[in-house]
Amino acid sequence: MTGHRAPEALQLAVEQWKAAGAHQQPPSRWSPGTWQSWFPEYATFLAELPQPVSRADVIARCRTASEGPEEATKAFIAAMIWGYGPVGYGAYGTKRVLTENDGAGETLATAAAIARDQGGPAAFEWLGSRDNRLRYLGVAFATKYLFFCAAKGDGPPALVLDRLVRGWLAKTLDWSLNLEWDVADYRDYIDRMSEWAAALDIEPGNLEMLVFQLAANGDANSLWSAPELFTSAPPESISEVTDEIGDFAAAILDKLNDAAALFAAQRGAIDPEDVADFDQGVRQLKRIVLTNY
């Protein structure tokens, strides 16, 4: 995988995406009520966050993340809302990171400044060091936060590296990346994706987005599928339908979110296989609600 030529699978994906209109990833639908119940002190900030929330919306809210703990905390919450989307335990997981790490806001502000000024790999290395690492914040969601903080900066990008992206790269390109805090792996990931993006005339962040969508589209139970990004004549997508859900559907989704949050609070004492089964079941129920109501 060396050299400037991008793998054929990525070439094809970019060609299809451009032919379909080069649209951005569908925004993430989230549950304001659930997040406000976990973060009542940020009720006003959450009320002003769009529903659904897009990548551009979060980038705008991360521009001031380096200015201090309060701004960084708000930016982090926005990034986590986008990242978790309709997953019900997202607010619980975010609260846990912020409350169970002393000085979490200061750490996030410093990471944001490094991402903006020095780029993604430098911020990843700093945040992943033993002295700065935040408990309960893994690579998948840390790189989501860093992505938004680096988006308008001067250095290399901070691309998202999560389970779906890693899985697609390993399966399709035979390229296995570590989802732990492996600095060398992450630098290699940024370098190669940036090189391929330049060769394909696409922003690195959009190339990562396409990899994510290819992986999500291949999972029948994914809440994130968006086949319309790769076809110029798409059927009505779930992302379009969910923007107009009624009160009944919204109430059901809120209840599912509450159940997921309660389950997440017990995760330390639950078998990992049961956790996976529960998450899959909740995703399937939400897709039924979004499709039929």
Residues 146-158 have pLDDT tens digits of 999 999 998 999 9
> Is residue 254 domain-shared with residue 174, that is, in the same domain?
no
Cβ atoms of 179 and 186 within 8 Å: the answer is no
Number of domains in the chain: 2
The Cα–Cα gap between 186 and 262 comes to: 33
> Is residue 286 domain-shared with residue 172, that is, in the same domain?
no
Among 222, 254, 276, identify where a domain stops.
Answer: 222
Backbone angles phi, psi at 109, to 5 degrees: -65, -40
Whether the link from the prior residue into 26 is cis, omega within 30° of 0, is no
Residues 89-141 have pLDDT tens digits of 899 999 999 999 999 999 999 999 999 999 999 999 999 999 999 999 999 99
Q: Flag whether 1 is in a domain.
A: no
Over the chain, what is the mean pLDDT?
86
> Is residue 101 domain-shared with residue 141, that is, in the same domain?
yes
> Is residue 107 domain-shared with residue 160, that is, in the same domain?
yes
DSSP string, 179-205: SSS-HHHHHHHHHHHHHHHHHHTS-HH
The Cα–Cα gap between 42 and 265 comes to: 21
Q: Flag whether 234 is in a domain.
A: no
Cβ atoms of 161 and 177 within 8 Å: the answer is yes
Q: What is the pTM of this model?
A: 0.81
Q: Flag whether 236 is in a domain.
A: no
> Is residue 210 domain-shared with residue 73, that is, in the same domain?
yes
Instruction: Tell me the β-bridge partners of 28.
Output: 53
> Is residue 68 domain-shared with residue 200, that is, in the same domain?
yes
> Is residue 138 domain-shared with residue 269, that is, in the same domain?
no
> Is residue 120 domain-shared with residue 188, that is, in the same domain?
yes
Q: Flag whether 74 is in a domain.
A: yes
Residue labelled with tokens 């699978």: 9
> Is residue 63 domain-shared with residue 100, that is, in the same domain?
yes
Q: Flag whether 11 is in a domain.
A: no
**Count of helices and strands (H, E) across the chain:** 15, 0
**How does pLDDT run along the chain (293 residues), one tens digit per residue?**
555 689 999 999 999 999 999 999 999 999 999 999 999 999 999 999 999 999 999 999 999 999 999 999 999 999 999 999 988 889 999 999 999 999 999 999 999 999 999 999 999 999 999 999 999 999 999 999 999 999 999 899 999 999 999 999 999 999 999 999 999 999 999 999 999 999 999 999 999 999 999 999 998 778 899 999 998 644 343 333 333 445 555 556 556 655 655 555 554 544 444 555 565 566 556 556 655 55
> Is residue 78 domain-shared with residue 151, that is, in the same domain?
yes
> Is residue 146 domain-shared with residue 34, that is, in the same domain?
yes
The Cα–Cα gap between 172 and 105 comes to: 38
The Cα–Cα gap between 262 and 125 comes to: 33
Q: Flag whether 109 is in a domain.
A: yes
Q: Flag whether 62 is in a domain.
A: yes
**Residue range(s) defining the domain that contains residue 173:** 24-222
> Is residue 159 domain-shared with residue 254, that is, in the same domain?
no
